[in-house]
Amino acid sequence: MILVTGGAGFIGANFVLDWLALNDEPVINLDKLTYAGNTESLQSLEQDARHTLVQGDIGDRALVSALLARHQIRAVVNFAAESHVDRSIHGPGEFIQTNIVGTFNLLESVRGYWQGLSQAPKEAFRFLHVSTDEVYGSLAKDDPAFTESNHLEPNSPYSASKAASDHLVRAWHHTYGLPVLTTNCSNNYGPYHFPEKLIPLMIVNALAGKLLPVYGDGLQIRDWLYVKDHCSAIRRVLEAGRLGETYNVGGWNEKANLEIVHTVCHLLDELRPRADGKPYQDQITSVTDRPGHDRRYAIDARKLERELGWKPLETFESGIRKTVQWYLDNPDWVAHVQSGAYRQWVQKQYHSGG
């Protein structure tokens, strides 16, 4: 049995759904169920005895220790994190608490459990920490993509807190021998993505007839990774990754934000045309850039391909079409996730300007 933390969030929920679609090993899913944790993403598993959802905090050592021991967990996959740069700028404290202190407490709970295991399960145990390319900082246009040997140079409270958690995971391996693995991924997109992030926000706003806010000149470049490709990479690293190693996971799809927005608009023009016949790109508007906005991220995922034979299956063209279609097919999920608190956040963040 495995323990997945943060398994009701965007990537975590996709991971749990894919895991149980591909094998019968049960999942204990620990999620704090904050705004980004959505039980509706796991609705198809409500009657599935292989899935147990527990509402709780990774910082609750008594709870985590009890779950590990009671269910004889063989692996922990840690998705639990505050993960939105803009939110970290407005309220960094929660990011420090969850991403640093929370990870520390989780590591300590896991270490206590692991040290008490008998030899065979102790050797087989794994702790996989899911992190981000943002810990590496920002790249100039012509810089080579991030490799696993890049220095960590985080520029936002979010990325700094994730870099700190990466350091803690590394230290617990080198100091205590905890069998850890770390993955650093590029920008994910796909089903069940909370609509504060770029792609789902554009889809939801476009369909609602609202403006499509683009930061600054919109030429910030990101590498885009379809979420189910990311999940397959995590499964592969968990299965065969070298202990103590970091693996970068990327989609080999560098795109400027403005190009992403235009692609979404063109797909919506095709799949759900506006009633007035006008193009959705008429709704694009520039807003004031966010403080310290990193210009470019790019992931070099060749180590993962070379050592473990992993490559993404989706091109950006195939993945973005699947994503837009999913949002068109799931209006109830979209409507329910957009609570009053979420609407207030968007109104506060994407103020007019530029």
Q: What is the mean pLDDT of residues 201-228?
A: 94
The active-site residue, picked from 158, 189, 192, 327, is: 158
Selected catalytic residue, list 31, 82, 86, 134 = 134
As a CATH number, domain 2-193+224-252+293-314 is 3.40.50.720
C-beta pairs of 196-200 under 8 Å, 24+ apart in sequence? 196/84, 196/86, 196/87, 196/342, 196/345, 196/346, 196/349, 197/10, 197/84, 198/257, 198/260, 198/261, 199/260, 199/264, 199/320, 199/323, 200/327
Distance of CA 5 to the CA centre of its chain: 12
**Considering only CA atoms, which of 145, 137, 18, 15 is closest in space to residue 80?**
15
The verdict on whether 134 is a catalytic residue reads yes
CA–CA distances in Å: residue 309 to residues 234, 236, 303, 322: 12, 9, 9, 25
Residue 343 has pLDDT above 50, yes or no: no
pLDDT (tens digit, 9 = 90+) per residue, 15-55? 999 999 999 999 999 999 876 778 889 999 999 999 999 99
d(CA 60, CA 180): 20
Q: What is the pLDDT of residue 91?
A: 86
Per residue in 113-151, pLDDT (tens digit) is: 999 999 999 999 999 999 999 999 999 889 999 999 999
Residue 86 has pLDDT above 80, yes or no: no
Q: So where are the chain's domains?
A: 2-193+224-252+293-314
Q: What is the mean pLDDT of the chain?
A: 92
Is 143 a known active-site residue?
no
Residue pair 215/115 in contact (Cβ under 8 Å)? The answer is no
For residue 78, the model assigns a pLDDT of 98
SS3 of residue 246 by DSSP: strand
Which of 57, 82, 86, 133 is labelled catalytic?
A: 133
CB 321 within 8 A of CB 267: yes
- pLDDT reading at 346 higher than 60: no
Partners of residue 72 on adjacent β-strands = none
What backbone phi and psi angles, to 5 degrees, belong to 249? Answer: -120, 115
What pLDDT, in 10s, does the model give residues 221-271?
999 999 999 999 999 999 999 999 999 999 999 999 999 999 999 999 999
